[in-house]
A and B are shown apart, each in its own frame.
Chain A
Amino acid sequence: EVQLVESGGGLVQPGGSLRLSCAASGFTFSNYWMHWVRQAPGKGLVWVSRINSDGSGTTYADSVKGRFTISRDNAKNTLYLQVSSLRAEDTAIYYCARMGVDGATPDYWGQGTLVTVSS
């Protein structure tokens, strides 16, 4: 069974940083590209970032470019998102998701970790 478990969220002040983690199991993690998607409270899904299977290629939404960094450790079956220079508008549930067989959109999703940016 595919499982994705996020952690690392919490309350952080504007300008602060966090590292989000996503522990993967139930599939060969090193074979899959991965996404981060976020959802502000009461709002819709917004794509954040994507990384290829060996970590050599990354893509970001314009809204987070230069502030967020996606990475992975295939030996630990773990995906990361370093979030920095945080703003109030970054407050959201952050989901990690596996890229599906279509090679583009997500298929399996984790339960998410909440990041709250507030003073």
Chain B
Amino acid sequence: QSALTQPASVSGSPGQSITISCTGTSSDVGSYNLVSWYQQHPGKAPKLMIYEVSKRPSGVSNRFSGSKSGNTASLTISGLQAEDEADYYCCSYVGSSTAVVFGGGTKLTVL
């Protein structure tokens, strides 16, 4: 199972919006509404930001939103803040035999 494809890096200025894409195939992202997004600051554990494509866990800012079209899922962060600077990973269910697959990660820089 190949990793999902994410851009290596994105950047934006405070207050702006950015979108991170996550491209899979018809066997993973395209087949299931089971895509999650994680934020990881250096030296820290990943934190769940979005699950089931567009749902936010309790306590996650509504500046974070998710969507999906075909084989590509997207994470949008609006009103960028300095503390949003981190690595972001998507994750998709791929079926019972392989469980899940992650994207390669995207480094977000807040300029």
Contact = CB atoms under 8 A, between A and B. Distances in A.
A104 B34 contact: yes
Interface residues on A, range: 20 to 34
A35 to B, nearest CB: 7
Interface string A37-75: 100000011110010000000010110000000000000
B46 A35 contact: no
B99 A50 contact: yes
Interface residues of B, number: 30
Interface stretch (A12-20, A84-92, A107-115): A107-115
A87 to B, nearest CB: 19
A100 interface: yes
B102 interface: yes
Nearest to B35: A105
Nearest to B92: A105
Interface of A: 35, 37, 44-47, 50, 59, 61-62, 95, 97, 100-112
